[in-house]
Amino acid sequence: MRNDAGDRMPECEKCGRSGKLTLVEIEGARMYVCQDCSRFGKPLKASLEPTPPPHRSTAPMKSTSLKPDALTPRTMELAEDFPSRIQRARERKGWSREELGKKLNERVSVISKLENNEMHPSDDLIKKLERTLDIKLMETVEEVKVSSTAASSGMTLGDFILRK
């Protein structure tokens, strides 16, 4: 939708509707939302019609972070027994899941899922857990070399198809 000047009308960051927006806080995030969506948050200041939020480009952004991707060899990896390490450290400090959640600024459900191995923590959460519980969740991993000289002398799938 465009206004008389030909500019794009601001869009609600929750539902995408165009029109007058209000700045609200929804679950800790500041968002410009329409009147209907403003009921989900706490108003932060008066409505902002002339200064809409910056338009978000649909073009992919260049990543400036140096986070490793799946193909980057890592020397550190999350320990397989991280759920029990978290639970033991929490119990050693005499904290409930609720208390640990408050100290980490995380929901109790996140702590429960971590301890029950239902989710893996983000890198940031790993650092917070290690610092708060005084534990190590990351382990050094050795690079495994695969020998390319070992050739299979057995039958391959291609051989099987050709023989049929």
Is the residue at 160 inside a domain?
no
Is the residue at 111 inside a domain?
yes
Confidence of residue 37 (pLDDT cuts 50, 70, 90): confident
Nearest-angstrom CA–CA distance, 8 and 47 = 17
Number of structural domains (the chain) is 2
Contact indicator for 82, 121 with CB cutoff of 8 Å? yes
**Residues near 115 by Cβ (< 8 Å), separated by ≥ 6?**
83, 86, 87, 90, 97
Domain of residue 102: give its range.
Answer: 76-140
- Mean pLDDT across 133-150: 76
Residues 133 and 90 both lie in one domain: yes
Nearest-angstrom CA–CA distance, 85 and 126 = 12
Residue 90: what pLDDT? 94
What's the angle, vertex CA 139, arms to CA 75 and CA 136, rounded to 5? 135
- Mean pLDDT across 42-50: 62
Residues 42 and 91 both lie in one domain: no
Is the residue at 1 inside a domain?
no
Residues 92 and 44 both lie in one domain: no
Spatial CA neighbour of 76 closest among 67, 63, 85: 67
Residues 125 and 85 both lie in one domain: yes
Statement: residue 23 has pLDDT above 50: yes
Residues 45 and 89 both lie in one domain: no
Statement: residue 146 has pLDDT above 90: no
Confidence of residue 128 (pLDDT cuts 50, 70, 90): very high
Query: How many other C-beta atoms can be found within 10 angstroms of the C-beta atom of residue 131?
Result: 10
Nearest-angstrom CA–CA distance, 99 and 133 = 12
Percent of the chain past pLDDT 90, that is, above it, reads 34
